[in-house]
Amino acid sequence: MDTPSLPYAHDALEPHISEKTLSFHFDKHHMGYYGKLVAAAEGSEWATASLEDIMTSGPASMFNNAAQTWNHTFYWNSMSPNGGGAPSGDLAAAIDAAFGSLEAFKEQFNAAAGGQFGSGWAWLVKDADGHLSITTTGNAGCPLTEGVTPILTCDVWEHAYYLDYQNARPAYLAAWWNVVNWDFASANFA
Protein backbone atom coordinates (compact mmCIF):
# COMPACT_ATOMS: atom_id res chain seq x y z
CA MET A 1 0.00 0.00 0.00
CA ASP A 2 1.49 3.26 -1.14
CA THR A 3 1.24 6.42 0.91
CA PRO A 4 -1.71 8.40 -0.50
CA SER A 5 -1.08 11.64 -2.34
CA LEU A 6 -3.32 14.46 -3.47
CA PRO A 7 -2.86 14.80 -7.27
CA TYR A 8 -3.10 18.61 -7.20
CA ALA A 9 -2.63 21.51 -4.80
CA HIS A 10 -5.02 21.98 -1.87
CA ASP A 11 -6.45 25.12 -3.49
CA ALA A 12 -6.64 23.72 -7.03
CA LEU A 13 -10.38 23.02 -6.98
CA GLU A 14 -11.44 26.47 -5.79
CA PRO A 15 -13.98 28.01 -5.91
CA HIS A 16 -15.94 24.76 -6.10
CA ILE A 17 -14.15 22.98 -3.26
CA SER A 18 -12.10 25.16 -0.93
CA GLU A 19 -8.49 24.85 0.15
CA LYS A 20 -9.74 24.48 3.73
CA THR A 21 -11.97 21.55 2.81
CA LEU A 22 -9.23 19.77 0.85
CA SER A 23 -6.72 20.38 3.63
CA PHE A 24 -8.91 18.76 6.27
CA HIS A 25 -10.25 16.13 3.90
CA PHE A 26 -6.89 14.91 2.59
CA ASP A 27 -4.51 15.71 5.45
CA LYS A 28 -6.78 14.66 8.32
CA HIS A 29 -9.44 12.29 7.02
CA HIS A 30 -7.71 10.42 4.19
CA MET A 31 -4.32 10.26 5.89
CA GLY A 32 -6.07 9.33 9.12
CA TYR A 33 -7.64 6.26 7.53
CA TYR A 34 -4.30 5.33 5.99
CA GLY A 35 -2.42 5.77 9.27
CA LYS A 36 -4.88 3.55 11.12
CA LEU A 37 -4.61 0.91 8.41
CA VAL A 38 -0.81 0.92 8.54
CA ALA A 39 -0.91 0.60 12.33
CA ALA A 40 -3.41 -2.28 12.16
CA ALA A 41 -1.47 -4.14 9.46
CA GLU A 42 1.98 -3.65 10.99
CA GLY A 43 3.71 -6.92 11.74
CA SER A 44 1.07 -8.98 9.94
CA GLU A 45 0.97 -10.60 6.50
CA TRP A 46 -1.19 -7.64 5.39
CA ALA A 47 1.52 -5.02 5.92
CA THR A 48 2.73 -5.43 2.33
CA ALA A 49 -0.62 -6.35 0.76
CA SER A 50 -2.43 -4.18 -1.76
CA LEU A 51 -5.48 -2.22 -0.65
CA GLU A 52 -7.59 -4.29 -3.04
CA ASP A 53 -6.38 -7.54 -1.46
CA ILE A 54 -7.10 -6.26 2.05
CA MET A 55 -10.56 -5.09 0.94
CA THR A 56 -11.49 -8.41 -0.66
CA SER A 57 -9.57 -10.96 1.42
CA GLY A 58 -8.25 -9.22 4.53
CA PRO A 59 -9.54 -9.21 8.08
CA ALA A 60 -12.94 -7.54 8.47
CA SER A 61 -11.36 -5.27 11.09
CA MET A 62 -9.15 -3.69 8.38
CA PHE A 63 -11.86 -3.23 5.75
CA ASN A 64 -13.10 0.24 6.70
CA ASN A 65 -9.67 1.89 6.77
CA ALA A 66 -8.47 0.08 3.63
CA ALA A 67 -11.61 0.91 1.65
CA GLN A 68 -11.64 4.52 2.82
CA THR A 69 -7.99 4.82 1.75
CA TRP A 70 -8.84 3.37 -1.70
CA ASN A 71 -12.09 5.34 -2.07
CA HIS A 72 -10.45 8.69 -1.34
CA THR A 73 -7.64 8.18 -3.85
CA PHE A 74 -10.31 7.30 -6.43
CA TYR A 75 -12.28 10.41 -5.44
CA TRP A 76 -9.30 12.78 -5.81
CA ASN A 77 -8.71 11.37 -9.26
CA SER A 78 -12.39 11.73 -10.11
CA MET A 79 -11.80 15.48 -9.91
CA SER A 80 -9.40 17.81 -11.70
CA PRO A 81 -8.65 21.54 -11.79
CA ASN A 82 -9.21 21.15 -15.55
CA GLY A 83 -12.39 19.13 -15.08
CA GLY A 84 -16.03 19.75 -15.83
CA GLY A 85 -17.65 19.96 -19.22
CA ALA A 86 -18.77 16.80 -20.94
CA PRO A 87 -17.35 13.34 -21.61
CA SER A 88 -16.39 12.33 -25.12
CA GLY A 89 -15.89 9.20 -27.20
CA ASP A 90 -16.95 5.76 -25.99
CA LEU A 91 -17.86 6.94 -22.49
CA ALA A 92 -20.14 9.66 -23.84
CA ALA A 93 -21.87 7.10 -26.07
CA ALA A 94 -22.26 4.65 -23.16
CA ILE A 95 -23.76 7.36 -20.93
CA ASP A 96 -26.25 8.25 -23.65
CA ALA A 97 -27.11 4.57 -24.11
CA ALA A 98 -27.59 3.92 -20.39
CA PHE A 99 -29.27 7.13 -19.26
CA GLY A 100 -30.58 8.84 -22.42
CA SER A 101 -28.36 11.91 -22.18
CA LEU A 102 -25.63 13.51 -20.08
CA GLU A 103 -28.21 15.75 -18.42
CA ALA A 104 -30.37 12.76 -17.52
CA PHE A 105 -27.32 10.98 -16.11
CA LYS A 106 -26.45 14.00 -13.96
CA GLU A 107 -30.03 14.21 -12.66
CA GLN A 108 -30.05 10.52 -11.73
CA PHE A 109 -26.58 10.71 -10.16
CA ASN A 110 -27.59 13.78 -8.14
CA ALA A 111 -30.75 12.02 -6.97
CA ALA A 112 -28.75 8.96 -5.87
CA ALA A 113 -25.99 11.01 -4.22
CA GLY A 114 -28.49 13.33 -2.57
CA GLY A 115 -30.60 10.42 -1.40
CA GLN A 116 -27.80 8.42 0.21
CA PHE A 117 -28.87 8.45 3.86
CA GLY A 118 -25.95 9.42 6.08
CA SER A 119 -22.31 8.91 5.14
CA GLY A 120 -21.28 7.22 1.93
CA TRP A 121 -20.43 7.46 -1.73
CA ALA A 122 -22.15 7.76 -5.11
CA TRP A 123 -20.61 5.88 -8.02
CA LEU A 124 -20.81 5.44 -11.75
CA VAL A 125 -19.91 1.80 -12.38
CA LYS A 126 -19.53 -0.57 -15.32
CA ASP A 127 -20.63 -4.19 -15.21
CA ALA A 128 -18.97 -7.13 -16.98
CA ASP A 129 -21.01 -6.45 -20.12
CA GLY A 130 -19.82 -2.84 -20.27
CA HIS A 131 -23.20 -1.47 -19.15
CA LEU A 132 -23.12 1.66 -16.98
CA SER A 133 -25.18 2.18 -13.85
CA ILE A 134 -25.32 4.39 -10.77
CA THR A 135 -24.92 2.95 -7.30
CA THR A 136 -24.35 4.21 -3.79
CA THR A 137 -22.47 2.69 -0.87
CA GLY A 138 -22.76 3.49 2.83
CA ASN A 139 -19.81 4.45 5.02
CA ALA A 140 -16.66 2.78 3.56
CA GLY A 141 -18.46 0.60 1.03
CA CYS A 142 -16.81 0.19 -2.37
CA PRO A 143 -18.32 -1.36 -5.54
CA LEU A 144 -15.01 -3.13 -6.24
CA THR A 145 -16.13 -5.77 -3.77
CA GLU A 146 -19.36 -6.25 -5.78
CA GLY A 147 -17.54 -7.27 -8.95
CA VAL A 148 -18.15 -4.09 -10.94
CA THR A 149 -15.67 -1.53 -12.24
CA PRO A 150 -15.79 1.93 -10.63
CA ILE A 151 -15.73 4.71 -13.24
CA LEU A 152 -16.30 7.82 -11.13
CA THR A 153 -17.14 8.61 -7.51
CA CYS A 154 -18.42 11.46 -5.39
CA ASP A 155 -17.84 11.48 -1.62
CA VAL A 156 -21.07 12.42 0.15
CA TRP A 157 -19.78 12.18 3.72
CA GLU A 158 -20.53 15.52 5.40
CA HIS A 159 -16.77 16.14 5.82
CA ALA A 160 -16.56 16.44 2.01
CA TYR A 161 -18.76 19.53 1.89
CA TYR A 162 -19.80 20.86 5.28
CA LEU A 163 -17.14 23.60 5.54
CA ASP A 164 -18.14 24.96 2.13
CA TYR A 165 -21.84 24.18 1.82
CA GLN A 166 -22.95 23.25 5.37
CA ASN A 167 -26.01 21.01 5.12
CA ALA A 168 -26.66 21.79 1.44
CA ARG A 169 -25.50 18.57 -0.19
CA PRO A 170 -27.27 19.48 -3.49
CA ALA A 171 -25.18 22.69 -3.71
CA TYR A 172 -21.99 20.63 -3.28
CA LEU A 173 -23.15 18.21 -5.98
CA ALA A 174 -23.93 21.08 -8.34
CA ALA A 175 -20.42 22.47 -7.80
CA TRP A 176 -18.81 19.02 -8.09
CA TRP A 177 -19.79 18.66 -11.76
CA ASN A 178 -17.53 21.63 -12.50
CA VAL A 179 -14.46 19.63 -11.48
CA VAL A 180 -15.39 16.13 -12.68
CA ASN A 181 -12.40 14.49 -14.36
CA TRP A 182 -13.90 12.95 -17.51
CA ASP A 183 -10.45 11.86 -18.73
CA PHE A 184 -10.07 9.69 -15.61
CA ALA A 185 -13.59 8.32 -16.10
CA SER A 186 -12.86 7.50 -19.74
CA ALA A 187 -9.65 5.69 -18.82
CA ASN A 188 -11.54 3.59 -16.25
CA PHE A 189 -14.26 2.83 -18.79
CA ALA A 190 -11.85 1.74 -21.53
Minimum separation from the CB atom of position 3 to Mn ion (A): 17
Comparison of 109 and 161: residue with beta carbon closer to Mn ion: 161
**Before 170, cis peptide (omega within 30)?**
no
Scan residues 104-133 and list those touching Mn ion (CB under 5 A). none
157 binding Mn ion? (CB under 5 A): yes
| Minimum gap (Å) between residue 69 Cβ and Mn ion | 11
> Cβ-count burial of 67 within 10 angstroms (0-12 exposed, 13-18 middle, 19+ buried)?
buried
Helices of type H across the chain: 19-22, 31-41, 51-57, 60-77, 89-99, 102-115, 162-165, 169-176, 182-189
Which of residues 144, 155, 169, 188 is near Mn ion by CB under 5 A? 155
Nearest-CB residue for Mn ion:
155
Size of the site for Mn ion (CB under 5 A): 2
Q: How many CB atoms lie within 10 A of CB 131?
A: 12
Helix 102-115 to helix 89-99 angle (10° resolution) is: 70
Which of these ranges, 38-46, 107-115, 117-125, 156-164, lies near Mn ion under the rule CB under 5 A? 156-164
Contact between 164 and Mn ion per CB under 5 A: no
Residues that bind Mn ion (CB under 5 A): 155, 157
